Structure 1
Amino acid sequence: MNLKAIIVEDEQASRDILKKYLDKYCPQVSVMGEASNINEGLELIRNHELDLVFLDVEMPYGNAFDLLEKVGDRTFETIFVTAYNHYAMEALNAHASYYLMKPVSIDELIKAVDYVVDIKEKENTLQDQVLVPKQPGVIGKITIPQQDGFEVLETSDILFCKADDNYTEIHLKNHKKKVVSKTLKYFDETLEASNFVRVHKSYLVNVNEIVKYLKGKGGSVVLSNGQEIMVSASKKSGLLSYFQ
């Protein structure tokens, strides 16, 4: 699969090195243009149908996050390339597919590009299709603690779970919400065999309740009740693997 890409990086030497590595080790990437600041990057993004943007964080006239905010909805994936590791959490929150540290490791660059290729191939396969999970929902129950004992829930009645610090909100089909004093990680592990998938650091969803996948906004799913939930780039490949 061919990926149309641009490089947004203020240092010419860094752009040259990255382009050289891509030409030699990632032939599936076609670099459509280069930009040295966010204004030039925004113009390239608006003038091209892109699959991938390589993005430095600190640049003239703003940073990478300013650029992504100006872009708004997007269908391309983003690979951050930076000398600063303290931006990793912000990059994750900006739905980056990968975070590469300078000097760029060739092995890590190949892994990053392969990950984006995997996402794009799965998205293209599922485009305009009715989403049907490969596995049927698993019939089962879970117990949630209460002050006077515990309550039993059918796993099939759960739409999604949302993290709230050390608590978890369990949203049900009957429009009710249960707040439990356990972390989302606990429910991620408990419901692992029941077709629940972590789509974001804050969300765990019932795969059988997903009715639509949207490539805009960096990727999101729509549930049977109309709820739209963002999908982290790092979670996309795993999510899309559930569908045929």
Structure 2
Amino acid sequence: MKLKAIIVEDEENSREILKNYLAKYCPNVSLLGEAANVEEALLLIRNNPLDLVFLDVEMPYGNAFDLLDKVGDRQFETVFVTAYNHYAIDALNAHASYYLLKPISIDKLIEAVDYVSEIKEKENRLAHTVLQPNHRHVTGKITIPIQNGFEVLQVADIIYCQADDNYTNIFLKDSKKLVSKTLKYFEDLLQDNGFARVHKSYLVNVNAVTEYNKGKGGSVVLSNGKQIMVSPSRKKELLSYFE
């Protein structure tokens, strides 16, 4: 599929390099415009349906994170392109799909574009279908430690798990349990039971997913009404459960 994209970069030379690389190595990217600052970028974003924004961090009159705050709800993916590696955590928290360091590696650029293409193709295929997990509904049980022994939980009753430092909150259909185990522990325990890690802090039962929203960078709504953001690095895995 063609990805409708823009470049947000204040340095003209950097814009030209990226444009040339995209034209030569990423023919599935259709550039709709360029912006040198936050205000120009906002105008392009608000006037074009976009799939992808290549985004420099430092710009005049604001930075990439200021821009994303002003945009608010968004349905496009972001690929950060910067000369500074210390923004990586901030980019992750801003739900960036990829983080490219200057000078741009052609292989990494192709990898980033391919990753976004795959996400968008999956989202488009699922846009007009009823979400139906391809994983069988589970009927197993797990045990969790309690003060005097252990408690048995029905796996099918678990809607999602949320990290709380070295503890995990397990949200069931009608209750919540705080367990002295990490989220990684439950991810490993439930990996063959239709549970997907959608965020560094969340593990969800795919059978409990009722909606997938492309807005806000991607989120799921669960059977109890809880809405959870989906990290870009986790989208492809989650969406594969519904194909």
Under TM normalisation by the shorter chain, which class is it?
over 0.9
Where does residue 29 of structure 1 map in the other structure? 29
TM-align CA RMSD: 0.7
SS at match of 1:193: coil
What does residue range 127-138 of structure 1 map to in structure 2 within 5 Å? 127-138=127-138
- The structural deviation recorded for 1:182 is 1.0
Provide the aligned length of Structure 1 versus Structure 2: 243
- The structural deviation recorded for 1:10 is 0.8
Where does residue 237 of structure 2 map in the other structure? 238
What does residue range 76-155 of structure 1 map to in structure 2 within 5 Å? 76-155=76-155
1:49 equivalent to 2:55? Answer no
Task: Return the alpha-carbon distance in structure 2 between the equivalents of residues 25 and 110 of structure 1.
Answer: 7
8 Å CA contact retained: 1:170, 1:177: yes
Query: Percent identity among equivalent residues?
Result: 71
- The structural deviation recorded for 1:138 is 2.5
Task: Return the alpha-carbon distance in structure 2 between the equivalents of residues 135 and 146 of structure 1.
Answer: 30
- The structural deviation recorded for 1:139 is 2.0
Higher mean alpha-carbon deviation, 194-203 vs 138-147, is at: 138-147
Residues 44-68 of structure 1: per-residue CA shift (max 9 Å, x gap)? 1011110000000111111101100
- The structural deviation recorded for 1:148 is 1.0
Task: Return the alpha-carbon distance in structure 1 between the equivalents of residues 139 and 86 of structure 2.
Answer: 43
Where does residue 73 of structure 1 map in the other structure? 73
Task: Return the alpha-carbon distance in structure 1 between the equivalents of residues 158 and 128 of structure 2.
Answer: 26
Letter matched to residue 208 of structure 1: N
- TM-score for both structures, normalised by structure 1: 0.98
Where does residue 161 of structure 2 map in the other structure? 161
Task: Return the alpha-carbon distance in structure 1 between the equivalents of residues 137 and 206 of structure 2.
Answer: 8
Task: Return the alpha-carbon distance in structure 1 between the equivalents of residues 146 and 89 of structure 2.
Answer: 34
- The structural deviation recorded for 1:128 is 2.5
Higher mean alpha-carbon deviation, 14-23 vs 222-231, is at: 222-231
1:199 equivalent to 2:198? Answer yes
Task: Return the alpha-carbon distance in structure 2 between the equivalents of residues 62 and 127 of structure 1.
Answer: 34
8 Å CA contact retained: 1:75, 1:218: yes
Higher mean alpha-carbon deviation, 138-147 vs 194-203, is at: 138-147
- TM-score for both structures, normalised by structure 2: 0.99
What does residue range 4-43 of structure 1 map to in structure 2 within 5 Å? 4-43=4-43
Structure 2 stretches of 5 or more lacking a match?
none
Letter matched to residue 201 of structure 2: S
